[in-house]
Amino acid sequence: MIIAGIDEAGYGPLLGPLVVSACAMEAPGEMPVEWEAVPCLWRLLKAAVAKKHAGAKGRLVIADSKVIHNLTDGDRLLERGVLAFLAALGAADGAALPGSLQELLVRLGCTSHELEAHPWYALQNTALPWLCDSGDLAIAGNVLAAAMNRSGVKMCALRTAVLSERLFNRLVGGTNNKASALVSVTLGHLYFLHQAYGQRGLVVAIDKQGGRDHYTTLLLRTFPEATLKVLQESAESSSYLLTEPADGDTVRRTLILFREKSETHFLATALASMTCKYLRELCMSGFNAWWCEKVAGLRPTAGYHQDGTRWLMDVEPHLPRLGVTREMLVRCR
């Protein structure tokens, strides 16, 4: 069976990109009919991963990216986890870890981000690893590989969509609805996962989208040839079984769960969350380096609304000199 997760980072900020990522992992056993029966990947990989930083003792911390980011060495832990699992994904074909942000985006299947339209994202100049020691990363990767071999868990996919400010504004402008833009990208990942892994029995855990409780219309619009069974729709969670004919006599079957804080319940969703946050932090590092070089005395920003508003007040007088329009810099929603 395949266990997958989808999550985002950067939905709320005023500045910087929105990132939506998906992770898929193979685990032993058949696809269950109930979510309670989905194998716990934290338990299967406990020799190499931990859910909490306290007591991890050198293991990879895979958890809600916001919790990890707020730790003293949070961004290093984000990078350590993401790159170790990316190494596991590339082990089969001998792929080396990416040496730059640009190479990382290619490895994650993200080629239409439009980040190059913004001079503050120096993709090729952002060298990787960013904060991790290469030796420690290699050791962590080896421990993870051993745990995967023992448990029968395998990496199948780690992919992302990064929406630059310009791309984000164009998508939101088309619907005048920020939530619709996020849903469209999320469903794009879900479509990929269903097509690639539905025949092997797929379960996908996704954070609730814009507080919605009902997803039937969205799913049927995305999968018009499929049969959709509503298992539950409530304020806590909404789950569905998607069934669709594939090649020959085979059938794609995908069990989908929308749940608040999915990243705290499913390792695949937590890893997707970490991938999003890691990429956004890499982008914001380049963002702040460029702007602080261009505007003397400027303090960096994480891009969220209150501090982003302060930052914009400091930067706005310099925009004409730098040839930057507000529409290119500031997200419309």
Domain boundaries, position 274: 2-285
Residue 256 near residue 31, CB atoms below 8 Å: no
**What's the one-letter identity of residue 195?**
Q
The residue written with tokens 């890893």 in the block is 271
Q: Is residue 324 part of a domain?
A: no
Does residue 246 form part of some domain?
yes
Angle at 235 between CA 230 and CA 236, to 5 degrees: 85
| pLDDT by position in tens, the chain (length 333) | 999 999 999 999 999 999 999 999 999 999 998 888 999 999 999 999 999 999 899 999 999 999 999 999 999 999 999 999 999 999 877 888 999 999 999 999 998 899 999 999 988 889 999 999 999 999 999 999 999 999 999 999 999 999 999 999 999 988 888 999 999 999 999 999 999 999 999 999 999 887 789 999 999 999 999 999 999 999 899 999 999 998 878 999 999 999 999 999 999 999 999 999 999 999 999 999 999 999 999 999 999 999 999 999 999 999 999 999 998 999 988
Residue 331, pLDDT score: 94
Q: Where are the alpha helices (DSSP H) in the chain?
A: 41-44, 65-69, 74-90, 101-107, 134-151, 165-175, 178-197, 216-222, 267-294, 305-315, 319-322, 326-329
| CA distances (Å), origin 225, targets 33, 221, 222, 246, 308 | 21, 9, 9, 10, 44
- Confirm whether 156 is domain-assigned: yes
In angstroms, rounded to a whole number, what is the distance separating the alpha carbons of residues 66 and 75? Answer: 10
Tell whether pTM > 0.85: yes
Residues 242, 226 contacting (CB under 8 angstroms): yes
Indicate the burial class of 264 (C-beta count within 10 angstroms; 0-12, 13-18, 19 or more): middle
- Give 3-state DSSP helix, strand, coil % of the chain, rounded to 5: 45, 20, 35
Rg over alpha carbons for the chain, rounded to the nearest Å, is 20
Residue 297 lies in a domain: no
Q: Is 312 within a domain?
A: no
292 in any annotated domain? no
Residue 318 belongs to some domain of the structure: no
Q: What is the largest CA-CA distance in the chain?
A: 66
**What pLDDT, on the 0 to 100 scale, is given for residue 131?**
97
Tell me the CATH number at 188.
3.30.420.10
**Total domain count, the chain:** 1
What integer pLDDT is reported at residue 122 of this predicted model? 85
Among 128, 122, 125, residue whose Cα is nearest residue 108 = 128
25 found inside a domain: yes
Distances from the Cα of 159 to the Cα of 104, 268, 275, 299, angstroms: 10, 12, 9, 32
